Amino acid sequence: MPEYRALSGLELKWLAAHRMQPPFAIDFVAVVDGSVDAAVLRKAWSTVCAAHPGLKVRLKGHLGRRKWVADGRSAPLVDVRHPGWDARRGLPPQDIGQRLDPEHGPVALLARVPGVGGRTVLMLRVLHAVTDGRGGLYVLRDLMRALRGEPLSPPRFETHSDAEVSTRAGGKACGPLRPDRAPLAQGNAPSPGAVGGTWIRTSLPCPPRHVYGDVVVRLAKWSGQSNLRVTLPVDLRRHLDHPIESVANLTGLVHLDLVPTDTPLSVTKRLRAAVETGEHHGPVLESMAMRRWPVGLTAAAGGALSKRDQRRGKVPASATVSNLGRLHLADWSAGPFATSAVFVAPPASPGLPLLAVMTGNDSQLEVCGAVPSAWGSEDGWCAALL
């Protein structure tokens, strides 16, 4: 019998976002200094897919009985032609060509894109309903290991949902957020309901201390708004006795109300205190009831609420900013080739003015952010960090 895990409430939200504005998927990107042979890459990718059955799940069951079952289509390897791509902004969906589908598959793909200066860009794309940032990084790291000829661990599939982990950790559900916060986005926004938006990548020297708090404070000051609430993801794998390095959505959320006197240090301390008291479990468990909702109804409701928020200029959360830690580039070489950058890029979410992901590469900080077209300039936020 194929392995499976229950669909969680947060995953249903990501499925609804995918229905509203596809693809709601995370891009995991490595920029390799050289040309990666197609046959070598195909063999390595086959090895990685065998080690991660979570890359071929499909959604089965009805309402509260829905689950991810690992018996779907394998994640394809696609060659993409987009001359001059420097991996500074997301690729147009038509260039990739492959559609991701949670019910019929595939839910993931690996793209090989010739980059500038003789480089090759390897981009793993996975539906956010299937994995979080850390889960996708496990896959991309194993791809690099396979390209170096290193053996991979036996196949592993995560059977725990985020709600199961938070419940076992003693978490308590929180109440829903009120749409009373200023958006962390600027620019001349198109009419409410406009679709589109892609990720933009900016690189800067890594702050010496309190990196997470530093980025949050800079973004807040740049916005010029005083009534801000940021959502900060927290890895739930810390609560597992034996966490496995697998595709999964195991992320809690801390909602942090910012104040004008916040500093990088105060944000860091407040986030740490929130995790110590278990606040990151609240949104996970608050979403549990949504498991029983139809995807279509959830998407319709989400679309209506997003348009309402755009008209009013108020949102439940001003932005989500994720920190996936430092990735030492020496550990991400691809066979005989060095890797000059590794980063994670988020999708644009219709209901969220800014979704940003941070990764550190040695002394450099990579920040990728996505702003939906309905909320304004897709790259205006970069000015906060440069």
Decide if 349 contacts 374 (C-beta within 8 A): no
Question: Of all helices (H) and strands (E), which one includes residue 58?
Answer: strand 58-60
Decide if 140 contacts 48 (C-beta within 8 A): no
Predicted local confidence at residue 112, as pLDDT: 96
Predicted local confidence at residue 141, as pLDDT: 97
Say which DSSP state 83 is in: T
Q: Is 259 helix (H, G, I), strand (E, B) or coil?
A: coil
- Where do we find the tokens 């990196």? 211
CB atoms within 10 A of CB 78: 16
Which segments of the chain have a pLDDT < 50? none
Task: Compute the distance between CA of residue 168 and CA of residue 52 in angstroms, rounded to an integer.
Answer: 25
Predicted local confidence at residue 280, as pLDDT: 98
Task: Compute the distance between CA of residue 161 and CA of residue 362 in angstroms, rounded to an integer.
Answer: 32
Predicted local confidence at residue 37, as pLDDT: 92
Find, among 247, 299, 5, the residue nearest to 130 by Cα.
Answer: 247
Say which DSSP state 315 is in: B
Question: CB-based contacts of 273: which residues, under 8 Å, 6+ apart?
Answer: none
For the chain, domain boundaries: 4-162, 164-324+349-384
Predicted local confidence at residue 187, as pLDDT: 60
| b (16+ CB within 10 A) / e for 139-175 | bbbbbbbbbeeeebeeebbbebbbbbbbbebebebbe
Predicted local confidence at residue 189, as pLDDT: 56
Give the type of residue at 86. D
Task: Compute the distance between CA of residue 103 and CA of residue 209 in angstroms, rounded to an integer.
Answer: 44
Give the type of residue at 95. D
Question: CB-based contacts of 52: which residues, under 8 Å, 6+ apart?
Answer: 138, 139, 142, 155, 156, 246, 247
Predicted local confidence at residue 209, as pLDDT: 85
- CATH class of segment(s) 4-162: alpha beta
Q: What CATH number is given for 164-324+349-384 in this structure?
A: 3.30.559
Question: CB-based contacts of 257: which residues, under 8 Å, 6+ apart?
Answer: 228, 229
Predicted local confidence at residue 194, as pLDDT: 64
Q: Is 81 helix (H, G, I), strand (E, B) or coil?
A: coil
* Residues 261, 267, 269, 273, CA torsion sign: positive
Do 164-324+349-384 and 4-162 have the same topology in CATH? yes
Q: Is 337 helix (H, G, I), strand (E, B) or coil?
A: strand
